[in-house]
Amino acid sequence: MEKTYTVKQVADILGYSTNSIYTFLKEERIVGIRVGKGRFRISQSELNKILHLQKNEVVQSRVQNVPITQIVQPPVTIPQPEETIFEKHLEHVKGSAPSLFDWFISLVSIITGLTMIVFVRNFEESANMTLSQFLLPVKINLLMAGIGLFIINYLNRTKKGWFYVFYTIIIVNFIGQALILLIGKDLLGFFFYGLTSIIILFHLILSPKGTITYRIFIALLTIFFTIILILFPSIINLNQISTITGLPTNLILLLWFFLSCLTNIVIWLSEKEKNIIYWTSFIIVSLGLTYFSYLYSTQLYWNRTFIFILMGQFLLISSFWSSLDQNYRDNRKIVINIFTDIVLIFLVIMSIIWIIQNNTRINTQQTLINRLVYGKNILEAILNSSTEKMESFTNSELLREAIDKKDFSNVNDLVKNFFIYSTNFRRVLMANKDGNIKSIYPFVDMTTTNISFEEYFKQVKSNKKTYISNLYETKMNGTKRQVVSINVPIFDKQNNFIGILIGSLDIDMISVHLQQIASLENKEYFLLLDRTGEPIVIPENTGLSKGEKKQLINNIDNSISIGEALDSDNKLIEVHDRVDDIGWSIAIRRPLLNTYNLDNITNVLLNLIFLISGLLIIVFNIVHMNR
């Protein structure tokens, strides 16, 4: 291990006071190793370098007869060997400014925790429902650990006990998020939290200061983010930028990949000089991050929206971070002001969005209630009018007489006429008291001609009153069909049960009536379930789990209820009610994405306000620092 010296030893060797050596250390004219509060050690190689420079200066001072103390005080200007790329950035590792990445992770953790608590659309929608029970502790852990790490940075107590505790909490929860997102097939989310976890491990092991960790993170994120999009272009919708540029999506992604590689290389190589090429690359990367924040805001992924805006702001801060030094009281105050103001901006914007979404939710719920009531009235009108027509027909003397005389030819004619003048049925059947089908119109081949075993026949025969069936399956012309029927008993003049009239309801017609009420633009749809929870009306490609069926039929107490549901991994607002007398359940749903989604202009304005306000705060503090 290389030998090191105390400040006093170095002062004795060089012939200076200890105060002068401390001054040289603060001005970084001597590079020391901090070993405690106000304590440094200087390596042998650093001392040799100083002695070598001093020896050269002594030779010149003898010629010019100038005291050495007048020569060493100004910054050393003797030409140095050409630095390697790594040496150019070495000052960020050894500098006294804190790590920008520590501040970034503290804010990311706070934002992720807050948005998961406050906002309705997060990665949990695509999460495995078995794992979703762990999301509440994840939210709280991230919020509290982020606040804790922010305070540690504020107090400049990094690389100590609580610093590692909070980082451990954050990395464990980030890894958990990455796994949940992978299960939910959210590849971009999995990549982001997975990459962040890996970079945190790198940061904790090597403990680089300055902007090195953050710039490595940005470079890997922008490059590999684009690679994932090239491999899986359907993950995110880039049609808008494709329409604006007139270029196909694949070409846009390839260009972005090329620019990501090129700009990150330029930023790394020219970071010290900060020439026009550097700032051009800087702006390109920032614009890319801002565009992705806009895309995520249109999908209501507010946590990722805020994080991408935050990355753009931190990228700007990284350009002047090396000039900040928390050991100087004024600069430390500037750093704290910048990050405190950024947190306040995020809180204000979150509050605005939350208020907008809360008001939108209330208005949407009332709209859905009105549509549900209207749909329920239409359904009840269809059922009541159909039942009344059937009961009126069964009380017809012509029908009773034809049945009594077993004139089934006449019965067929009567049933046919009834069907023609009724609009709500697919088919009408008549069976005698033993369940034997005697008439059917329109005619089809039935698998069985006796229905005495069917539940609806038993209900009508035993109770002697009209019964609307649950959903059941029947086979006609060799094809299985789902059927709901209105079943009305037929009595003779002595009020004896002599048969049953069965009207098979036109479920497609009922569905059309209900869906016409729903808003197609907002992707609303109706559900209609029978007493057992089987769906009578349900859109294609929409499934109901057993739990959802049970919730719909059990949580309704003859009053309108409002709640949330999950359909194909999408959260929905759901308003449901019970259909009086028959015990069916009716519901209308709207996806949360269509409920809370802001229009494009509002999204752009929010992102611009967010970005510009953050930039103004940073610029204001830079001006203040220069003064």
Asked if residue 539 has pLDDT above 60, the reply is yes
Sign of the C-alpha dihedral computed for residues 154, 158, 162 and 168 taken in this order: positive
Q: Could you state, in order of their start, the residue ranges of all structural domains in the chain?
A: 4-80, 100-207, 361-377+510-598, 386-506
Phi, psi of 489 (to 5 degrees): -70, 150
Share of the chain above pLDDT 90, in %: 22
Closest CA to 142 of 117, 170, 123, 104: 170
**Euclidean distance between CA atoms 140 and 223, whole angstroms:** 31
Confidence at residue 447, expressed as pLDDT on a 0 to 100 scale: 75
* Dihedral sign for Cα atoms in the order 123, 125, 130, 136: positive
User: Given a cut of 80, is residue 270 above it in pLDDT?
Assistant: no
pLDDT above 50: residue 125: no
In terms of average pLDDT, the best of 4-13, 16-25, 436-445 is 436-445
pLDDT attached to residue 621: 54
Least confident of 247-261, 422-436, 552-566, 584-598: 552-566
Q: Would you state the pLDDT for residue 34?
A: 79
Lowest mean pLDDT across 111-120, 143-152, 375-384, 518-527: 111-120
pLDDT in tens, 311-353: 888 888 887 777 665 454 556 777 787 888 888 888 888 888 7
- H-assigned helices in 272-324: 276-298, 302-318
What's the CA gap between 359 and 485, in Å, rounded?
A: 42
* DSSP state letters, 175-224: HHHHHHHHHTT-HHHHHHHHHHHHHHHHHHHH---TTHHHHHHHHHHHHH
The answer to whether residue 616 scores a pLDDT higher than 70 is: no
Residue 583 has pLDDT above 90, yes or no: no
Average of pLDDT values for 351-374? 86
Q: In the CATH hierarchy, which fold is given to the domain comprising 361-377+510-598?
A: Beta-Lactamase (3.30.450)
Please say if the pLDDT value at position 554 is more than 70.
no
Number of other residues whose CB lies within 10 A of the CB of residue 622: 18
pTM for the full model? 0.65
- For 192-212, write each residue's pLDDT tens digit: 999 999 999 999 888 887 788
Phi, psi dihedral angles at 440 (to 5 degrees):
-150, 130
386-506 topology per CATH: Beta-Lactamase (3.30.450)
Cβ(445)–Cβ(468) below 8 Å: no
Residue type, 225: F
Q: Which CATH architecture has domain 4-80?
A: Orthogonal Bundle (1.10)
Confidence of residue 20 (pLDDT cuts 50, 70, 90): confident
Identify the weakest region by mean pLDDT among 297-301, 303-307, 397-401: 297-301
**CA gap 239, 250 in Å, rounded:** 11
DSSP letter at 453 equals T
Pick the closest to residue 24 from 12, 7, 36 (CA basis): 7
Q: Do strands 39-43 and 4-6 pair parallel, antiparallel, or not at all (unpaired)?
A: antiparallel
Q: 378-416: b or e for each residue (b if 16 or more CB lie within 10 Å)?
A: ebbebbeebbebbeebbeeeebbebbeeeeeebbbebbb
CATH topology agreement for domains 361-377+510-598 and 386-506: yes
The tens digit of pLDDT for each residue in 41-53 reads 888 888 787 776 6
pLDDT band at 413 (very low <50, low <70, confident <90, very high): very high
Q: What mean pLDDT comes out for the span 53-79? A: 45
Q: What are the tens digits of pLDDT across the range 30-43?
A: 888 877 767 788 88
Q: Would you state the pLDDT for residue 484?
A: 92
